[in-house]
Chains A and B, each alone.
Chain A
C-alpha cells in the first residue's frame, strides 16, 4: 500500500483503508474512487489517500524522469548554492536538500 497525494489519485483507484474522521467512516476500504469522492476528499482537507497497489517511490521516480535534463542540472546547481551552509554530515541535510530540490522542480513543472 502507498499513500498517494490526492492530486495524483485517478478515478477508479481502489481505497486500501477506511477514510475516517473522529471515528466516523467517510469512505470505506475497497471502494473504487469516483470523481465525486476525490472532490469530497479535497473539501475535507485530505491531502493523500491509501491506494491499493500504489508505490509512492515509483511516483517520485516518474516525476524525476519527467524533468528535462537541462532543468535538472539548473535545479541541482540552485540547490547546491542554497544549501551551502548545511553541514554535510548532519542527518537532516540529505532530506532538507532533497525537499528543496523537489520544490524547485515542482516550480518548473507549474
Chain B
C-alpha cells in the first residue's frame, strides 16, 4: 500500500466525517413522533408537510409501480394510512440519505452508476422480501438503498487507497470488500453501520448493513443480511454494477439456504425489477 490509512478503525473514520452528513431536523422530529405513543397521524402528517419536496417524493412513490395501488393517493395523510407511518419513515430515511450524498462528487466512481446500483439493490431486496411474503417490505428497500453507504465515505476520506484497492481487486480477481478487510481491518460494511449508529438508526438497520458480505451463522439479523447479500448480487447480475466491485459477488451458501429461493425466482426478480426500476429511479434521483 503506497500510503498508510490515517484511520485505525471504522469508528475513527466515521468520527472524521464532516457535518455535511447530518440528517435534517425533519427526520428526527418525524422519528420522535412515530416512536411516541401519544402522537396522532395528523401530527405526523404535519411534520412531513413542512418538507414539501419530501412529501412530493413520498406521494410519487405511493402512486408508482413501487406499490401499484389501484387508486390515486392524493394526500400525505392518505399515504400514511395506506402505507403506515413506520414504512413512510423508512422511505423518508432512504430519500434523505440519498439527497445528502448526492451533492458530494467523487472522482473514483460515477455517482449516477453508484446510486443506480443502490436503487437496483433496494428494489431487488424489496422484491425478494415480497416473494417471501415478509411484512414491512420498505425496510428491505431502504437497507438495499443504503447498503454501500460506507463505501461512499471511503471514496471521500481515503480516495488514493480505494483507487489502489479497486485496481488490486481486478488484478488479483477477488472482491473489493475482502481487500478492504485485509488492508484496513475493517470494511465499508463497518463504516456504513457505524455511521448509522451515530445517526441513531435502529440496530436492525445498522447490524444488517454490517454483515451483508460477511455472512455467517452468527449474524444478528440472518434474514435481513441474507436478503441484502443476495439483492446486491442481483443488482450486479442485472447490469447495475457501480458499487466499485469488479465481479459479481459470490453467493454465500448460508444466505442462499436462509432465503429458500427457487432458482426460477431469479428471472421473476429480474422481470419485476425491470417493471419498477425506471420509475423509482426517476423519483429517487429527482431526475
Binding site for B on A (CB under 8 A): 21-22, 45, 47-48, 81-87, 90-96, 99-100, 103-104, 107
Q: Mark B69-91, 1 if CB is under 8 A from A, else 0.
A: 01000000000000000000000
Asked if A82 and B247 sit within 8 Å, CB to CB, the answer is: yes
Asked if B249 and A85 sit within 8 Å, CB to CB, the answer is: yes
What is the number of residues of chain B that contact chain A, defined by CB distance less than 8 Å?
27
**Taking the nearest CB of chain B, how far is it from the CB of A41, in angstroms?**
12
| Chain A residue with the shortest CB-CB distance to B68 | A45
Asked if B251 and A92 sit within 8 Å, CB to CB, the answer is: yes
State A48–B267 Cα separation when bound (angstroms): 13
Chain A neighbourhood of B274, CB < 8 A: 47
Asked if B263 and A21 sit within 8 Å, CB to CB, the answer is: no
Asked if B249 and A99 sit within 8 Å, CB to CB, the answer is: no
Asked if B275 and A99 sit within 8 Å, CB to CB, the answer is: no
Instruction: Select one of A48, A84, A96, A103 contacting B266, CB under 8 A.
Output: A96
| Chain B residue with the shortest CB-CB distance to A106 | B239
Asked if B271 and A91 sit within 8 Å, CB to CB, the answer is: no
User: Is B17 an interface residue, CB under 8 A from the partner?
Assistant: no
**Taking the nearest CB of chain A, how far is it from the CB of B81, in angstroms?**
19
| Chain A residue with the shortest CB-CB distance to B272 | A47
Chain A neighbourhood of B233, CB < 8 A: 96
* A99 with B266, Cβ < 8 A, contacts A85-B175, A87-B250 known: yes
